[in-house]
Amino acid sequence: MPHPESNNDSSTISKGLYDLDLPEVAPDEVPLPHPEPSFALQMEHALFLLKARGPDFYEKRLATMNPEPFYIP
């Protein structure tokens, strides 16, 4: 069964340079409820991100960084 067409079709390519192709919101539409995450949930997410990087992430990143980003001859 084909998917019904929508005004918010993200597969179309805009021809205008400044056309952002933002979703169209009807006057009777409201955003979905989005409660703020708890502090414990934020800490759990931060811990996950830190563990997911690996123990030598910062050493590898420092090795690839340019120590002098601004070079004036």
Is the backbone of residue 42 left (phi > 0), alpha (psi -120 to 50) or beta? alpha
pLDDT exceeds cutoff 60 at 69: yes
Rounded to an integer, the average pLDDT of 1-14 is 62
Between the two ends of the chain, the Cα-to-Cα distance in Å is 64
13-45 pLDDT, tens per residue? 667 777 777 778 888 888 888 899 999 999 999
Q: Strand, coil or helix: what is 71?
A: coil
